[in-house]
Amino acid sequence: MVRRAGAERPGVKRAGPDLGGGPDRVTGPDPTPPDPSALLEVRDLVKHFPVTRGVLFKRTVGQVRAVDGVSFTLSAGETLGVVGESGCGKSTLAQVLMLLEPPTAGTAHFEGRPMFGMRGSALRALRRDMQIVLQDPYTSLNPRMTVGDIIGEPFEIHPEVAPKGSRAAKVRDLLDVVGLNPEHINRYPHQFSGGQRQRVGIARALALRPKVIVCDEPVSALDVSIQAQVMNLLRELQSEFGLAYVFIAHDLSVVRHLSDRVAVMYLGKIVEIGTEEEIYQRPTHPYTQALLSAVPVADPALRGRRDVIRLTGDVPSPIDPPSGCRFRTRCWKARDLCAQQEPELVERDGHLSACHFAEQRSVVP
Ligand SMILES: Nc1ncnc2c1ncn2[C@@H]1O[C@H](COP(=O)(O)OP(=O)(O)OP(=O)(O)O)[C@@H](O)[C@H]1O
Ligand code: SF4
Ligand SMILES: [Mg+2]
């Protein structure tokens, strides 16, 4: 795995010496060319869904701001964990990156080439290089297809990867790679357990030898013991095939041991992003600190020493997010400035945090 403490955006601001507070400057659209060394570079990505009223004559009465200006880079072989509560826009981000939903605004570059608007052979190659594993192994596999057909289906669309005569052997290899019995190639999804089905989903994602797999909560529906097995498999596959992952979860504890860097999302925005160590040991955003305080601590001796932060109130609606800082309605540090001015992602203590009053707080000893 690649450990990389990179700035997320070229030209990102550094906070001045007054780390305790003061308004941050607002950045405009980023004019810098895409980073040629990044496998994936996402800038100012926005996805809004219209809210409509009326049956015959639909009119738009608002927008769900599901993803509202997200920027990050991903290097080859790296894992970026993306964490946040339900409804913060994680799956929407995944769908837009997989070109399953068109973006409202923003750019994404894959190996330096713009992804949105790609056509022809470039688009086919991109669809090979980027794959997705979904959360629910019970609904994401077609129950009427054998696992052999499910895993081999991508070869129908990309026959150049596996000519017809070689496909069954390739599918058997893939079953073997993900720890399933190749003899079970003709079984149906209902004949497998939840963890095994998720392995089938991973085998299908691997079939075209992608460079990136977007994992949208791939272990959330599984028992804890099975979760660890699937996470270990993903780690092994990463080192064997040099894969990069965008790994989505709603819990910081799930992504910790796989992630090189972690992005914390709140209401459509990244509020803090940094290396695994920066986020877990030196978080500066109050929301990250609150999420960390809810992470289970394995060592009983350390449990009592954890800083407990209880968040009050519900996540506001993404149709009408709070002015200024979106987290202010639940933040114990909020002041007038937080309602008036939106905090930008600014480099503090070596990583980016979007809080006017960001300061380090070690939550888990
Ligand atoms: N197709 C859609 N049309 C309208 N609104 C949508 C659509 N898809 C998602 N949303 C809304 O966008 C917001 C973000 O949803 P999303 O599924 O991306 O969140 P999430 O972080 O993946 O949540 P979860 O952890 O529950 O999976 C939610 O308010 C959701 O209701
Ligand atoms: S409300 Fe203010 S103090 Fe709290 S996270 Fe937002 S900017 Fe920071
Ligand atoms: Mg989701």
**CATH number of the domain encompassing residue 327:** 3.40.50.300
* Per-residue pLDDT at 19: 33
* Per-residue pLDDT at 35: 83
- Give all strands of the β-sheet with 59-74 in edge-to-edge order: 59-74, 40-53, 105-110, 113-114
Q: What spacing in Å lies between the alpha carbon of 89 and ligand 1's midpoint?
A: 6
State which residues form the domain around 120: 40-353
Among 70, 82, 86, 92, say which to mutate for ligand 1: greatest number of ligand atoms within 8 Å of CB.
92
Instruction: Determine if ligand 2 sits within 6 Å of the CB of residue 279.
Output: no
Question: What average pLDDT does the segment 174-198 reach?
Answer: 94
Name every protein residue with a CB atom under 6 angstroms from any ligand 1 atom: 49, 64, 66, 84, 86-92, 250, 318
Which atom from ligand 1 is nearest to the alpha carbon of 94?
A: 18
Whether residue 189 is contained in a domain is answered as: yes
Whether residue 157 is contained in a domain is answered as: yes
Cα–Cα distances (Å) from 5 to 32, 42, 62, 144, 259, in that order, read 20, 17, 38, 45, 12
**Domain tally for the chain?**
1
Whether residue 360 is contained in a domain is answered as: no
Question: What average pLDDT does the segment 267-276 reach?
Answer: 97
Whether residue 25 is contained in a domain is answered as: no
Closest of 149, 137, 148, 213 to residue 175, by C-alpha: 148
Whether residue 12 is contained in a domain is answered as: no
Residue-wise pLDDT tens digits, 6-21 = 445 444 444 433 333 3
Which atom from ligand 2 is nearest to the alpha carbon of 325?
A: 6
Give nearest CA residue, ligand 2 atom 8: 355
**More confident: 138 or 204:** 204
**More confident: 26 or 147:** 147
Q: What spacing in Å lies between the alpha carbon of 91 and ligand 1's midpoint?
A: 7
Indicate the helix (H) or strand (E) that contains 245: strand 244-249
* Per-residue pLDDT at 239: 94
Residue-wise pLDDT tens digits, 48-85 = 999 999 888 889 889 999 999 999 999 999 999 999 99
Looking only at the bridges linking them, the beta strands covering 79-83 and 59-74 are unpaired
Tokens 């509560």: give the residue: 85
Which atom from ligand 1 is nearest to the alpha carbon of 319?
A: 29
Whether residue 363 is contained in a domain is answered as: no
Give backbone dihedrals phi and psi of 302, rounded to 5 degrees, phi first.
-90, -15
Q: What spacing in Å lies between the alpha carbon of 53 and ligand 3's midpoint?
A: 25
CB atoms within 10 A of CB 163: 10
Instruction: Determine if ligand 2 sits within 6 Å of the CB of residue 286.
Output: yes
Please give the Cα distance from 215 to 122 (Å, whole number): 23
Instruction: Determine if ligand 2 sits within 6 Å of the CB of residue 325.
Output: yes
pTM here is: 0.91
Among 63, 83, 91, say which to mutate for ligand 1: greatest number of ligand atoms within 8 Å of CB.
91
Instruction: Determine if ligand 2 sits within 6 Å of the CB of residue 333.
Output: yes
Question: What average pLDDT does the segment 345-353 reach?
Answer: 93
Whether residue 4 is contained in a domain is answered as: no
Please give the Cα distance from 302 to 329 (Å, whole number): 31
